[in-house]
Structures are given as structure tokens and as C-alpha cells.
Amino acid sequence: MYKYDPSSRCADEFINHEEILDTLAYADEHKDDLELCHTIIEKARKNTDLASNHCMVISHREASVLLACEDPGINEEIRQLAREIKLSYYGNRIVLFAPLYLSNYCVNGCLYCPYHLKNKHIARKKLTQDEVRAEVIALQDMGHKRLAIEAGEDPRMNPIEYILECMHTIYTTKHKNGAIRRVNVNIAATTVDEYRMLKEAEIGTYILFQETYHKQSYLELHPTGPKHDYNWHTEAMDRAQEAGIDDVGLGVLFGLDKYRYEFAGLLMHAEHLERVWGVGPHTISVPRIKHADDIDPDAFDNSISDEMFLKIVALIRLSVPYTGMIISTRENEAVRQQALQYGISQISGGSRTSVGGYTEEERPHDTEQFDVSDNRTLDEVVRWLMDNNHIPSFCTACYRAGRTGDRFMSFCKSGQILNYCHPNALMTLAEYLTDYALPETKQVGFELIDRELGNVADPKRRELCREHIADIVANRGNDFRF
């Protein structure tokens, strides 16, 4: 009998291979049991009633049944419920961010990433602090307030001291009305001591994609380098939590292995974090493998259709209703528009995935990690969101006010977070419109703000929000730091 223990901190036990295989077999056996499928959906539906102050999470096994079910009626119920849960927890707000690539030096041999050590024709580059500052100013001039920094794993070229120095440069760079208020960090798995250093440097969310939860596939896809150690990589979030980083972000690279296996493993990881640390993942990302230098996505035979990809998004929203869900510019406009309906709450905009790419007039390709499918500017993305009745948000107030980890989750699961996020989203949108938006975007945006102010439930918060927005428009020299 295998040992599956979501309370264990051993990866082989909380992501147990035999448990996933049993889960997939159970899903195949019950996928046509429409009564069971309806029962699972009704269990998830309780998450639309936040007044009950109880977050009902469906298990990885229950969610896998719904994923395997092919009934059109069930699939439509899943999509509709995902919309309702997303609106219940996050409203119509969409948080915006951008990736900032610091260095593409890497000692790993990952077969799906162009930064792998054996790729000798890609240009290698590492930003100096002056170059980091220039990149940050370029991002501030676009209107960004939140970054996710990225770097390859190279202990000599990209040590933790370099990452910390870059974070300091980012936080202290001020240009006109620009300020980066939250720095999320996506770097390789490391030690508790180094995670403590990141915490002291005021990290936002620590992000680490599992790539694949299938251990044998993981070992084959990471043949060389420190990332080859599956358990060290998979147990990283526990070490980050031990170090005090209570906002962590999960993700898999869909297309590397079978999507049903990855889906079950991802939910098991979320269940593990909730069980051990009392707080699940702050975010879940859903990247799909894309073309890049030296990488042909057709070499991986586990690609998934847009329809199945969107179903996965919807089912993650049903299964982990409280988590922020992220979709990047790997996906094109059409897919991103649909994914916003089914659970996505954060997107990147105006992204460049090359080292030093934001200071170049033309998008450079020589150091890109992957091809960008959505090449629109941030202003175009903001306008598009508003045209589709979303509120673009640049808010970082929870992070600044210490609402992280279990404190954020308690607000989110009870629905109280809407009392903060809705007005803060409107105020940060007013900042963006005043400082950076094109005239047509500005007009559309302030019309949206006028409409949305009426939807701020608390009258006192509504009037305070209205007053702050008036101050922003009249005297934008102040930094309100929402």
C-alpha cells in the first residue's frame, strides 16, 4: 500500500504517484456518472455564498472526475460556476504586472527552456544595476507598479546577493510619479536561509513553477544541473513558508506531460500547503509551452487544445476558489479574453521576455525565454480590459498593509477583500489614467470609474474613494501607495 500523506513535507508523499494514478482511474470510472458530477458541482457552488464564511474546496479527486467528464451540459455548468465564483471572490478586477528578466545565465539542462546550458548560440546577458534601473524606469513610464523578476539558475552569475541587490534597486528607483510597489520573485529553489533573506528584502510572492509533477518525466526533462533534484524543487514552497514567505505561487508548464496528471498534482500541492501551513497558494499560473530559441514545442506530444486549457482554468477556479490565477502573454488575446471569464485574476501586459528588453525601441529576440503571443502595449491591454467590463488594477495595498498569507486568505475567503480591493482598484486606475493613459483610454477609464463608484458597497469607503480620486486628478504629485 502506497503512502499518500498531504501533511507530510516529503514530496514523494504529498505528491504521491500512485495516488495520482488511482485518482485518474477513479475519474475514468466515474466520468459518466452525471449524478456524481452534479453533486461535486453543487459542493463547489457553495463558494458563491461568502456570507457563510466557509470556503468549500473540492478535492483533487473530485475535480479530476469533472475534468474527465465530456458531457456538454456538465461542461457548461463548470464554465458558468467558474464565472460566478470568480466574481464572488475577485469581482471584475484584473491585476496587472510585468516580468523583468535580470539574467539568462543558467547551469541547468532543461530540455524545454532556451536558457539551458548547452544552448551556445543564444546571447547571454546579465543586467548591471544601472541597466536594472533603466529597465525599471521604462516599466514605470508604461504605468506598471508590480513586477515579477526572473533569472536563470547560476550560483556564480546570479547568486542570491545579486537578486537582493536588484530588488533594492527596483524598490528605490523613483521616476516622475512612478514607483514599483511589489516585487514578486521567480528564481530557482533555494535554502531556508536564502528565503529568509528574500523575506527581509520585502519580497511580494515567491513564484516557482513545478514544470511537471510526474517525477520520471521531470528527471528526464531536467537531465543535468541542480534542478534535476525533483524533491528539492518540489519541497521549495515548504522551505519558503518556513522562512516566513507566506505568499507563494504555484504553476505547471502544460504540454510537458499529460494534462490530467499535472492537474491532479497541482491541486494536491495546493491541498498540501493548506494542510501544513494553513494557507494555500497565493497564486496559480497556467503557462503552456511555446516556441523559443532552440525549442520546438511540437517536440513535446502533450499539447492541449484551447478548449481543454480553458476547462482546466475553470476547474482550478472551482477547486481553489481563493487563489489568484495568472495568465501571461504566452497566450494570445482571444484565449486570454476567454480565460478572464473563467477565473483569471492577474495578467501581464506590455511584456518582454528578453534580458534588457524594455529599454529597446524594437522588441529584441536574441535573449527571449519564449515567444510572446500578445504583443499589445500596456495601454492597449488596459483599454481592452475596460471595453470588456473589467477594472484594470495596479493595487498593492494588501502587501503594503501586511495582508499576506493567512491574513489575506481570511479576508478573501470571507469576501471582505472586496471592500478593500474594489475602491483601491479604482484609485490605482485613476493614477494610471492621469499619469500614463492615452486620451481615448483616459476618457473610457474615467467613465468606467464613475460607473463603478456606485458599486462600492460601503458608503464611507465610496466617498473616501471619490475624494482620493479627485485628489489624484488635481494633484498627482502625491504617492498614495495603494
Residues of the chain with pLDDT under 70: 49-56, 291-302, 363-371, 399-401, 403-407, 409, 411-419, 476-482
CA distances 240 to 189, 235, 246, 270, 462, Å, are 9, 9, 7, 14, 38
Residues 6+ away with beta carbon under 8 Å from 260: 24, 27, 64, 67, 68
Which residues of 107-181 form beta strands (DSSP E)?
146-151, 174-175, 178-179
What local confidence, expressed as pLDDT, does residue 356 receive? Answer: 93
Cα–chain center distance at 280: 14
Q: Which one, of 424, 448, 447, 445, lies nearest residue 436 by Cα?
A: 445
Q: How is 10-58 classified by DSSP, letter by letter?
A: -HHHHT-HHHHHHHHHHHHHHTT-HHHHHHHHHHHHGGG-GGG----PP
Q: What is the pLDDT of residues 315-359, one digit of tens each?
A: 999 999 999 999 998 899 999 999 999 999 999 999 998 999 999
What local confidence, expressed as pLDDT, does residue 284 receive? Answer: 98
CA distances 93 to 27, 35, 37, 391, 479, Å, are 34, 34, 30, 5, 22
Residues 386 and 445: beta-carbon distance below 8 Å: yes
Helix and strand numbers (H, E) in the chain are 20, 11
Q: What is the pLDDT of residues 442-458, one digit of tens each?
A: 999 999 999 999 888 78
- Residue 93, SS3? strand
Residues 6+ away with beta carbon under 8 Å from 258: 214, 302
What local confidence, expressed as pLDDT, does residue 481 receive? Answer: 45
C-alpha cell at 283: 497564486
Residues 366 and 146: beta-carbon distance below 8 Å: no
**pTM of the full structure:** 0.92
Q: Which one, of 303, 373, 298, lies nearest residue 337 by Cα?
A: 373
Residues 405 and 246: beta-carbon distance below 8 Å: yes
Q: Which residues pair with residue 443 across a beta bridge?
A: none
On the CB side of 342, CA atoms within 13 Å amount to 24
The rounded distance, in Å, linking the Cα atoms of 402 and 257 is: 37
- String of b and e for 66-103 (b: at least 16 CB within 10 Å)? bbbbeeeebbebbbebbbebbeebbbbbbbbbbbbbbb
Residues 434 and 472: beta-carbon distance below 8 Å: yes
The burial class, CB within 10 Å (0-12 / 13-18 / 19+), for 317 is buried
Residues counted in the chain:
482
The rounded distance, in Å, linking the Cα atoms of 481 and 230 is: 40
Cell 495578467 belongs to: 347
93-103 vs 146-151, strand pairing mode: parallel
